[in-house]
Amino acid sequence: MSPAARLLARFQHPAQIVAVAFAAAIAVGTTLLALPVATAPGESTGALTALFTATTAVCITGLATVDTASHWSPFGQVVILVLMQAGGLGIMTLATLFALLVSGRLGLRARMLAQAETKALQGTGLRRVVRNIVLFSLCSEAVVAAVLGLRLALAYDEPAARAAYLGIFHAVSAFNNGGLALWPDSMMRFVADPWVLLPVALAVVLGGLGFPVVFELVRAWRRPKTWTVLTRITLGVSAALLAGGTLLFTIVEWHNPRTLGPLPDQTKFLAGFFTAVMPRSGGLNAIDISQMRPESWLATDILMFIGAGSAGTGGGIKVTTFGLLAFVMWAELRGEDRVNVGHRRLAGPVQRQALTIALLSVGLVALGTFVLLSLVPYALDRVLLEVVSAFGTVGLSTGITPHLPPGGQLLLVALMFVGRVGPLTVFSALALRERTRRYELPEERPIVG
C-alpha cells in the first residue's frame, strides 16, 4: 500500500476528517495572519497571536487578544472574514451531512419511516443539500449586509464603500456566530439603534437554528403538527431561553449604572434582548460585559453552555441536547418508563448520547476552569465566563483574555477547538458505533441518590 493510500485509510472515520479539516484550516489561517502584510502599520504579530486569531475565526468564537480593527490590515481582516465564513459553512455542511450519514446506517424500514416523517434531508441528494446550505447562508448574509450597509451610510455618514465593507463583515460575523467586530467596543455604540442591533440579532438566531430546522420551517411552517422532534425542541427551547434571558438581563441590569442604568426605558429592553441573544454563540455585545453584575455573568455562563441549535453555526452542548435531557428528567419525575416528545418516542441511544455529550462538556469546562485558575490571579466568576465562552465558541469576555499568560491563551485555543469540533466528533462517533448486543446480562438496580 502506498503512503498516500495508508494516509487515506487512517482518516476514514468522519470524526477524524472533521478534526483534520479544522486543524488544517487553522494552520492555513495562522500562516496567513503571521505574514507582515496582514498586520497594520506600527503593529507586530507573534505566532501565538496569529494562532489565537485563526482559531477564534475558524471555530467562529470571537475571543481576541488584539483589537481586530486596529491591529489587522485590510488583508488580515479579509483573511479573518474568509475564515469565519469557511468555519460557519463547514459546521453547517458537515453537521447536516452527518445527519444523512447516520440515517444511511439505519435499516431500510427505519429509513423509510424517517423519510416519511421528515420529508426533508433523508430524501435529498448530497449536492442539493450542500447547494441549499450555501445559498441559504449567502442570501441571509446578503440581506443583513444590505440593511447594515444602508444604515451605516445614511445614519452614520460612512462612505459607501466603507459602509458596504462594514455591512458585509458584520453580517458574516453575525450569521456565522463569529463574535468579531471592527469596532473596539463591539456593538456598544449602537445600543440605542434597532436598525443595527435587530438585524444582527436576527442573523445570529437564524444561523444558530441550524439548516435542518430552517429547511423544515420553510417547507412546513403552516403545519406545525408535522414538525419533527428536532424542530419542535429547537424552536421551543430557543424561544424559552431568549424570552427568559431577555427578562432576566433586563431586570438584573435595569439599575446598574455601568450597563443599562443610564439608558432610556425602551433602549433597556432592546439592549436586554440583544444581550440575551448573544450568549447562544453570537459573541457580540451592546453593553459592557465586564461591568455586568455577577448574577448576569452566571446567567450568561448557563446560556453559553447550552448554546444554539444542532447543525447550526452556534456552539455549546446545543439546545437539542438540553431539551432532550429536560424531557428525560420530566419522564423520570412522572415515573414513566418511556420518554415522549409530542407524538414521538425518544430512542434509548439518543438519550444516552445527549447525556454523554452533556457530562463530557461539564467535565471539560470544570477541568479548563481549574487549570486557568492556577495560571491567573483573576476571580472564579471571571475565569469561568472566559472558559465557558471559549468552549461554547461564543466570544463574550470580561476583558481578561488579552492579559492572560501564553499558557492561558493556549488553553483557550484548545477549548475553542474542542468546543467547536468536539460535539460533532462525539455525536458521529457515538451514532456510527451503535450496535446491538447479542446477549443480556442479569439486571441489578443500585441505589441512586
pLDDT in tens, 132-154: 888 888 999 999 999 999 999 99
Give residue for cell 488584539: 66
How far is CA 376 from each of CA 33, 52, 295, 382, 409, rounded to the nearest angstrom? 27, 18, 22, 11, 11
What is the value of pTM for the model shown?
0.87
Residue 11's pLDDT band (cuts 50, 70, 90): very low
In a domain, 396, yes or no: yes
State the helix-helix crossing angle for 194-209 and 126-155, rounded to 10 degrees.
170
Q: How many domains does the chain have?
A: 1
* Rounded alpha-carbon distances, angstroms, from residue 181 to 173, 186, 420: 7, 5, 20
Phi/psi for 340 (5° steps) reads -115, 140
pLDDT 10s digits, 329-345: 998 888 888 888 877 88
Supply the range of the domain harboring residue 368. Answer: 13-432
Task: Please check whether residue 217 is in contact with residue 226, taking contact to mean a CB–CB distance below 8 angstroms.
Answer: no
Length of the chain in residues, anyone? 449
In terms of pLDDT, which residue wins out, 369 or 427?
369
Residue 146 has what pLDDT? 97
The pLDDT assigned to 100 comes to: 54
pLDDT of 402-423, one tens digit each? 999 999 999 999 999 988 887 6
Give the pLDDT of residue 229.
85
Amino acid residing at 44: S
Whole-number pLDDT of residue 296: 96
The verdict on residue 1 lying in a domain is: no
Residue 172 placed within a domain: yes
More confident residue, 178 or 438: 178
Is 109 a residue whose pLDDT tops 80?
no
Q: CA-CA distances (angstroms) from residue 440 to 347, 437, 443?
A: 18, 7, 8
H or E, element range at 344: strand 344-345
Residue 201 included in any domain = yes
Residue 159 covered by a domain: yes
Is 437 a member of any domain? Answer: no
**409 lies in some domain:** yes
pLDDT in tens, 30-89: 999 999 999 999 999 999 999 999 999 999 999 999 999 999 999 999 999 999 998 888
266 within some domain: yes
Q: pLDDT for 192-243, tens place per residue?
A: 999 999 999 999 999 988 878 888 888 888 888 888 888 899 999 999 999 9
